[in-house]
Structure 1
């Protein structure tokens, strides 16, 4: 059953100001869901009331005017200060940086000039706001000069400078492309990426809003990347992960983020003909129950739904391709929300001049069943479960449904049961066993192996009638039994594997 269902699209007209959408934000006002839309080409910011039936109703628009701060607007930030919702549009082409109030009905008032600055405001490529304790801090980066400027956004709607972090040979802040934040074990952490310098940095935010650099990842570290463009964070089973999209390397990279701010790479995925994130530049994360997902897009006219598995491994679920009635050509922004129990994605395009509402059917996604340090027996139900083996020699049985079985440390026995199952192996075996592989439905995921990238990296033998897959340097083997009958040499092809 497909996950994506296309809803309605809203295209640019003389009254809607949707030419060249550069950014969107979904916000909740008095129990209703609104979409904020920034148009770079028309220097406008609009608000739309959203509903689960796919109808988006225009509420208000702020058009460009002298000192509006919206000329060529490229970035939107929404925050709440003193109980008042505030919109902060940023543009590298406008010397003004203002706030706009938005009421419970989507009506926008302003601009409100931001006083109390040190003269660094204006010509901003982006801004980012976070709430820490009782305070709202805003972090900005100026076009051409880079760096990060930190401000307290107080209840008088003034910006009070908290720090100016300039670009140096060691800070990699020349062209900040994105920022995000996450709270990990009593530490507020701010992450930033520099596009052309190619760096991911993590800062600890102290109680006054100042930044302390904790770690930096460069392109030469681990798998490598080029031109990072977007960041998201997710939490899976108590672990925090950072996902970075890089346009130059057409890649998604996952890092484990530790509470002290350290970053360790755990997965790296390149765009293929089966995915749609070439020139990867747009990410959106969301959670369903205890499972965490990412929507990723770039320049190849579509988007891909991926899940972050418990160890940080990326798993591709489904890809949606642009059509005549959608705005998935050169996607500029993706936002996900829940309206009346429906998971809704709003996808906008800078070239097709509008946005599309898409429903995601996640009803079949079941629970995650975790192993322990003991030798566990894990059993799924009729839903699409994840079984995660962890330590020791485990027995995993997916039951009905399209399950994901992740082996963990030890020699495990994996039974998919009925349904189209995926057996995920990490680079730790020496031997694993699949008891019921179905050639027409099941797959084996070896993307966690750094020594394996192609079907030709494997070879196959028969041992006492059992098909054996030899992985990498023959240090790891998988015994594969069929659900019915026996498997022969040549039965498994490249289509049965994920690399």
Structure 2
């Protein structure tokens, strides 16, 4: 997919063409209109979008004398009791100020609602419908409040509640049956989510979003929200970090990082000022631009990864110096992209053809595409992907994946921790190999690249790709990668995954593990599910023991293994435990009576199959905080495991459990034991 520069459109009037601060889209009767807004002394222009042609100027409106010296540069369409309006940011207004929008794209009269508790000086606004209730959420600049208002039948607004918080961007998104407002505060450098009470419309901030703070998003300037691929996604632009971040919104309102990309010399979103996202025929596209004098186009995969499609650098004709605002709309068989510059007058129009979009499919076994541009993803078992004709995007699964792109310019996306990968028909100079998900890979020189008789063999860490050329001839690194990688840098978002010494305390004894609820015994643990015939899927539990293995629908038997470190802060292991083990090592009972099988397992911290004085020494070292070769950790066994043969000199057992996942859910009874902690069972 290529970005095509079309033209710069303008009215010819400086007050309406220069300093465009915002653009907004609205559809009436199947026709799409774009509204551009300038600041003080300016006004609004309405443009009718036409497929394959220049947008037609539909109307223009200079700001009235009462607001022209107080108005900001934002314009947001809302619907109030049968009337559409473009609401504005007006410094001294007490109510919500805006112009009526007519169904033919023309601009009507200036209107103002009754006074609002937070005033009419707003930084952002978002509207949502929950059941039969219509709500409007406003970010009030003067009072540093986010206010929720019910829209009454006559178009007036009644306050639901307000929270003390600043926001420069508001977006609304549903996850599961719950509704949320996502906020970004540029000055405060924060991103937050708020749940919306479905009965009252009241906002409540969601806790537990610490994970997004590790991404390094600096000065968020724009947010987009979209539901796609059965999930809810938030995309955040960071001007100070030159970054785009994809976050998955869970049904409890927590935001989980899915991808984080940084601008490079090959992309055009450094100092990113605005982004726009659109969903077309099941595909998500993200457009970004800012101080880098150009536009970058991405598509999003079903697991939230941004795949770079194209970047367009400013020319003498294109007017893309310091992009301020972006809007994108599907118009017929093309995406029309409109960008306004902080320096150049008018609106820059670019286009992308979407005439040949194919299907989006994910699975295992054999997955076959169409004659159009498909997006096919491998699953948790061995998969063969056939793209067919068209410009396809083929994405590896977690097990072995064989990919055949067929005719067209295909993109092969290799995910980290994929199984062995074979590409059968790579077309040098036409197809593209995307390795951006590999952590810390920045140049082809880091790869172990070996030319073979039929193509090439590429290795990186534990990843292996067998690349066969479409001609059956050998391939060089230059033929595959050219002068180097041409996309953004992807930064790992799960560097803090895996158990560590700062893990939360555990719970000893029998428990029921469930993927549908918190598990106190699994706080901060790492879970590894290996389906029969497939490769391992790894999930990191949060402090409450909640985890998501991202399993597809279907029935998958396999092995579940759990790793959880000992929390030194819990002080569960003491010198008394070392004394108990010393008694057990010489055949004496613990102080409470005969030892159970679980006690022998806990005592064998060295895991050499017997309880002896070395175990007592290692446990004492753990208890007093001294270095030891044998760290304490939790072990997890099937609850019905046969432990009858375990004794002081025979500590042999199997960890993990055989489980069957059904439609993405699993449940199993297990027993957790902390090595080094000796307690009565």
Alignment pair present for 1:24 and 2:23? yes
Partner Cα separation in structure 1 for residue 141 and residue 42 of structure 2: 17
Of 385, 389, 395 in structure 2, the residue corresponding to residue 396 of structure 1 is 385
Aligned to 1:156: 154
Q: 1:478 aligns with which of 455, 458, 465?
A: 465
State how far apart, in whole Å, the 1-side matches of 2:16 and 2:408 are. Answer: 47
In 1, the alpha carbon distance for the partners of 2:412 and 2:435 equals 9
Task: For 1:69-468, list aligned pairs within 5 A.
Answer: 71-92=70-91, 97-118=96-117, 120-143=118-141, 145-167=143-165, 173=166, 176-207=167-198, 208-215=200-207, 217=209, 221-339=213-331, 342-372=334-364, 376-461=365-450, 467-468=456-457
Q: Which is helix-richer, 1 or 2?
A: 2
Aligned partner of residue 440 in structure 1, secondary structure: coil
Tell me if structure 1 keeps the 8 A contact 2:196–2:204.
yes
What secondary structure sits across from 2:213 in the alignment? Answer: coil
CA distance in 2 between partners of 1:70 and 1:132 (Å): 37
* Residues 242, 254 of structure 1: 8 Å contact kept: yes
Q: Which moved more, 1:27-36 or 1:461-470?
A: 461-470
1:170 paired residue number:
none
Distance 2:182 2:153 in 1: 26
Normalising by structure 1, report the TM-score. Answer: 0.88
Query: Is the Cα–Cα contact under 8 Å of residues 245 and 257 in structure 2 kept in the other structure?
Result: yes
Q: Closer, same or farther in 2 for the Cα pair 1:355/1:466, shift >3 Å? A: closer
Moved more, 260-269 or 29-38: 29-38
Structure 1 residues 271 and 91 mapped into 2: Cα distance closer, same or farther (>3 Å)? Answer: farther
Relative to structure 1, the CA distance from residue 111 to residue 230 in structure 2 (aligned partners, 3 Å threshold; closer, same or farther) is: same
Task: Provide closer, same or farther for how the CA distance between residues 64 and 351 of structure 1 changes in structure 2, counting only shifts above 3 A.
Answer: farther
CA distance in 2, matches of 1:494, 1:96: 57
Q: Which residue of 2 aligns with 1:63?
A: 63
* Structure with bigger RCO (C-alpha 8 Å, 6+ apart): 1
Q: What's the TM-score once normalised by structure 2's chain length?
A: 0.66
Listed one character per residue, the Cα deviations across residues 78-133 of structure 1 (whole Å, up to 9, x for unaligned) are 11122111221014576764233222234444433321422x21332222222333
- Per-residue CA shift, 1:402-429, capped at 9, x if unaligned? 2211001101112222333222111112
Identify if the C-alpha distance between structure 1 residues 44 and 274 changes in structure 2 by more than 3 Å, giving closer, same or farther. same
Of 149-158 and 260-269, deviating more is: 149-158
Q: Secondary structure at the match of 2:104?
A: coil
Change (3 A) 1:379 1:18: same
The C-alpha deviation readout for 1:170-199, integer Å capped at 9, x for no partner, is: xxx3xx221111222221111111113222
SS in 2 for 1:328: coil
Distance 1:331 1:92, change over 3 A: farther
Report the Cα offset of residue 20 of structure 1: 0.8
Cα distance between partner residues in 1 of 2:97 and 2:475 = 68
- Distance change (3 Å), C-alpha of 1:237 and 1:490: closer
Deviations 1:361-396 (A, max 9, x none): 111322223214xxx112233322222112111111
Q: CA separation of 1:100/1:2 partners in 2, compared to 1, >3 Å: closer, same or farther?
A: closer
Aligned in 2, Cα 1:298/1:366: closer, same or farther, shift over 3 Å? same
**Structure 2 residue ranges without an equivalent (≥5):** 490-681
Distance 1:340 1:444 in 2: 30
> Match for residue 41 of structure 2?
42
Three-state SS of the structure 2 residue aligned to 1:456 is: helix
Contact kept in structure 2, 1:455 and 1:494, CA below 8 Å: yes
Q: CA deviation at 1:75?
A: 1.5
Any idea what the Cα deviations from partners look like across 1:306-335, whole Å, max 9, x if unmatched?
100111111111222333443322222222
Instruction: From the two aligned structures, give the one with the greater strand fraction.
Output: 1
Alpha-carbon RMSD:
2.8
Q: Is the 8 A contact 2:17 2:38 kept in 1?
A: yes
CA contact 2:3–2:312 (8 Å) conserved in 1: no
Find the aligned partners of 2:5 and 2:68 in 1 and give their Cα distance: 37
> 1:464, 1:318 → 2: CA distance?
32
Name the stretch that deviates more: 252-261 or 448-457: 448-457
Q: Using the alignment, how far apart are the partners of 1:320 and 1:492 within structure 2?
A: 23
Q: Partner of 1:54 in structure 2?
A: 54
Alpha carbons of structure 1 residues 8 and 477: separation in structure 2 relative to 1, 3 Å: same
Task: Name the CA shift for 1:133/1:90 in 2 (closer, same or farther; >3 Å).
Answer: farther
Q: 1:364 to 1:30 in 2, by over 3 A?
A: closer
Contact 1:229–1:282 at 8 Å: present in 2 too? yes
CA contact under 8 A between 1:383 and 1:402: conserved in structure 2? yes
Is the Cα–Cα contact under 8 Å of residues 79 and 130 in structure 1 kept in the other structure?
Answer: no
Give structure 1 stretches of 5+ with no counterpart. 168-172
SS of the residue corresponding to residue 377 of structure 1 reads strand
> Is the Cα contact below 8 Å between 1:384 and 1:403 reproduced in 2?
yes
How many residue pairs were aligned?
484
Contact 1:21 1:41 in 2 (8 A): no
Instruction: Give the Cα–Cα distance (whole angstroms) in 2 for the partners of residues 402 and 460 of structure 1.
Output: 26
- Alpha-carbon distance between aligned partners in 2 of 1:115 and 1:231, rounded to the nearest angstrom: 29
